[in-house]
Structure 1
Amino acid sequence: MSLREKDYSWNFIVNAIDNAFFNLGMTFGSIQTLLPLFAKNLGAGNLEIGLIPAIANLGWAIPAILGARASERYKRKIELVLKVTMGERLPYLFMSFIAFFLASPFPKLSLYLSLFLLAIATFSMGFLGPPWMSMISKVIHPSKRGTFFAMGNGLGAIMGIGGAFLARYFLSTYQFPINFGYSFLCAGIALLISFVFLSLTREEPDENEVQDTSLTEYIKSIKIVFKDKNFRNYTISRILNTFSLSFISFVSVFSVKQFKIPDKIVADFTGILLISQALSSFIIGPIGDKFGHKITLLLGRISTLISLILLLTANNIISFYTVYIFIGIINSAFYVGDLAFILDLSPSQRRELYLGSINLIFAPFSFIAPILAGKIADTKGYYFLFHCLLILGIINILYFVYKVEDPKKNVKNINNSDFN
């Protein structure tokens, strides 16, 4: 029995709200702004700050192949998602307890406990990536995927604007570390509200027989995926992209150190980022649905170059506000574009394998990139780092334009027949 039109509409609404509250939670525990600043105040150096995106990228990547294999054993993907999802939500509540009770007397312990909790959260997210994406491919109509991702991202950003102002209030009103404790507490609450809407998803079981393949055999089957030339080129382009984007985690720290910008202004950066992310999401999603998501991914790469040029020429706080406008566009382009692009690229029969494979191959590079960037910043300085990433970003654009084809131009990859 297939889903009816009203079921698709219901799923669009509840999953968009789930996505919005999840993104709101990520605002209060932002890996790009608040967590690096929290770590800096706990005494972290650039190498330890670089561990934040490194752990996150590794967590999002490595467990994906395990999640992909587990997902293929479930006819209803939502069942697996609900079993594991608390692992990505509860750590932020525990981070708030660390900020309230441990950060002042034990700053180093608090730093490493926070990194450990971040690892639990992001590894849970990574494990759930393939089953959640597979579920979305079933419960959201293909013609609305870009709009769906944009809606969740955009609504989350709009809600996050209020969250950013609330975070700014916490940072400016309360002393460290209580101010961060309140922010992480809000993150946990938003993620629990998100869980409620996720649980309302309507999904029909798969008709295919469940395959019970050993992990070794499943990993060996990755070679099938990389016989797909376009998928292989897309993976290489994403690897280049993760190195280009490694500058983002250092923007807030760079602004504070280079221009003596107060910590509370970092919350303003988050607000600007989210306004930009919200507005660009509502434009990018429908454009991708109509013209193909390669356009949105190209926009993200161009925005990366502009951001790096602005950082290299920055001479006042306005430059950093502008950088965060472009980071908002970058977030929208890659969040909406990559999710929709990979669903278009992967055949429905092996969707989990495609999703898990790209994340597994992606893992070591996503881990190394921010750590390497942090090391370069420590030894050569931020300006040298930004120059290197600018050159890499140009190479990335050229490779993406000439080597990666838009799967929407190939009707057989869209699998609309699955929804007729």
Structure 2
Amino acid sequence: MHAGIQQHLRHNFVVNVLDGAFFGAAFGFASKVAVIPLFIATLTDSTTIIGLIASLQMIGWQLPQLLTANYVAGLHRYKRAVLIMSIHERAPFLGLALVAAAYPVLGPSVTLALAFLLLVWQALGGGLTATAWQAMICKIMPPGRRGTFYGTQSAASGLGESLCVVIAGILLGAEPQATDFAICFLLASIAMVLSFIFLAKTREPAIAPTQHADRDWRRFMARLRAILARDTNVRWFLVARVLAQFAGMSVAFYAIYAVRAFDITAETAGLLAGVLTTAQMLASPLLGVFGDHWGHRRAMGIGILLASCSALLVMTATGLGAFYIAFALAGVGNAALWTTVMTITADFGTLEERPYYIGLTNTLVAPATLIAPLLGGWLADTISFQATFLVSGISGVLATFVLMAIMHDPRQTHHTNLAAPEPVGLD
């Protein structure tokens, strides 16, 4: 690790953890497992639409990453691109606040359409930012600290989210009104501004790219095909990630199922979401440290297996108490799918190939991210919620088998990732 990164390591660690804390706070006020599903449920009875909207963030995060990989590979610095593109994942929350406030005038159909468009914009903004952001983090955090960083940042995000989702539940009350949702979304937009301020304080050394980006689309695609053809390990990683999408698809339906089957209030739904984010907060640094010492592949497998147990527990629940345990297990699964996935991805390939691996391992999973909630909603609508939970449980067991029995830790076979070229400046 060169001096430019070492000198600013502590500063970058702190400001990016604070970025994550306020980012998480925003997603507490606009929780994708409680607030947004409940808001959409006031506009439509379709569980398929609710499931699709709940998955938009992950679809938008994954789908555009391959499209920006070639551009990112040719950058000296990533920070400016991150800041510009990140505006698109933050501004829509203010739009949601305005749309929710205007619900009495707009009516349910127009409000649903506008909310959907804003959520798509927000999700795609995250995906446009993702490759450059991950590349920046990989550059400013040395390999042996990435798991710890992602875990700590995720814990800070979880803390902000768990506190704010409980506040959101209190604001919404037993019978939430449109103005209550508007206040939650406005608070989310304020938290996003604070997050952006800390992100902008990142100190990134300018490092000359090790290669020139291929502007010819055919050569770019040929390079991607070559990576997939030669790297068996990344192909199994993709299989595990696809299965993991189906393992996690049922979480978006937990709150709706609890409302319909056990008649819980919005405040209780907020408490359950708080349990999930608290569990995620506590598990994230533990999984990060565990992965840095004993392998992120194993940490990911443990998390997905617990997510499977969560779905099977909800499937057989006879009382509300089971949901608290299930949401906690789902939180550990979420921690694994964030902390470990990005760390594993950064360990594939050489330094110059990293943006391509980041794009490949996210964009190729996007179809499964889209299909999984649609399948889950369809199963819930046509058969039962239990069918959705059963498919999730089985998918998680299969994903765990692939990770534990077939795939290998990429860091063990890609030591070239540990080297980094000398900086040529600092931003």
Q: Same fold (TM over 0.5)?
A: yes
Deviations 1:266-294 (A, max 9, x none): 11112111221111122111111111101
> 1:357-372 counterparts in 2 under 5 A?
357-372=360-375
- Partner in structure 1 of residue 102 of structure 2: 101
1:28, 1:34 within 8 Å by CA — same for their partners in 2?
yes
- CA distance 1:120–1:105, change in 2 (3 Å): closer
401-410 or 242-251, which moves further after superposition?
A: 401-410
Mapped pair 1:32 → 2:33 = yes
- Partner in structure 2 of residue 126 of structure 1: 127
Cα RMSD of the aligned pairs, angstroms, is 1.9
- CA distance 1:4–1:217, change in 2 (3 Å): closer
- Partner in structure 1 of residue 314 of structure 2: 311
- Partner in structure 2 of residue 250 of structure 1: 253
Using the TM superposition, give the Cα deviation of residue 416 of structure 1 relative to its aligned residue in structure 2, in angstroms.
4.3
- Partner in structure 1 of residue 82 of structure 2: 81
1:51, 1:371 within 8 Å by CA — same for their partners in 2?
yes
1:44, 1:111 within 8 Å by CA — same for their partners in 2?
no
Q: TM-score, normalised by structure 1?
A: 0.95
- Partner in structure 2 of residue 224 of structure 1: 226
Distance between the aligned counterparts of 2:391 and 2:120, measured in 1? 28
Using the TM superposition, give the Cα deviation of residue 54 of structure 1 relative to its aligned residue in structure 2, in angstroms.
3.9
Distance between the aligned counterparts of 1:95 and 1:346, measured in 2? 40
2:103, 2:178 within 8 Å by CA — same for their partners in 1?
no
Mapped pair 1:299 → 2:280 = no
Deviations 1:17-36 (A, max 9, x none): 11221122122222222211
- CA distance 1:165–1:53, change in 2 (3 Å): closer
The 3-state SS of whatever aligns with 1:213 is coil
- Partner in structure 2 of residue 144 of structure 1: 145
Using the TM superposition, give the Cα deviation of residue 392 of structure 1 relative to its aligned residue in structure 2, in angstroms.
2.5
- Letter paired with 1:392: S
The 3-state SS of whatever aligns with 1:106 is helix
Number of equivalences: 420
1:54, 1:368 within 8 Å by CA — same for their partners in 2?
no
Mind listing any 5+ residue stretches in structure 2 that lack a counterpart? none
- Letter paired with 1:7: H
Mapped pair 1:393 → 2:392 = no
42-51 or 192-201, which moves further after superposition?
A: 42-51
- Letter paired with 1:107: P
Distance between the aligned counterparts of 1:104 and 1:322, measured in 2? 41
Mapped pair 1:268 → 2:264 = no
One of 312, 317, 334 as aligned partner of 2:337: 334
Distance between the aligned counterparts of 2:422 and 2:302, measured in 1? 30
Distance between the aligned counterparts of 1:298 and 1:151, measured in 2? 20
- Partner in structure 2 of residue 191 of structure 1: 192
Deviations 1:362-382 (A, max 9, x none): 121111111111111100111
> 1:6-25 counterparts in 2 under 5 A?
6-25=7-26
Deviations 1:2-45 (A, max 9, x none): 51523111111111111221122122222222211111111241
- CA distance 1:205–1:339, change in 2 (3 Å): same
Aligned-pair identity in percent equals: 27
Mind listing any 5+ residue stretches in structure 1 that lack a counterpart? none
- Letter paired with 1:397: T
2:349, 2:414 within 8 Å by CA — same for their partners in 1?
no
Distance between the aligned counterparts of 1:267 and 1:104, measured in 2? 27
1:74, 1:210 within 8 Å by CA — same for their partners in 2?
no
- Partner in structure 1 of residue 157 of structure 2: 156
Distance between the aligned counterparts of 1:54 and 1:164, measured in 2? 18
2:54, 2:252 within 8 Å by CA — same for their partners in 1?
yes
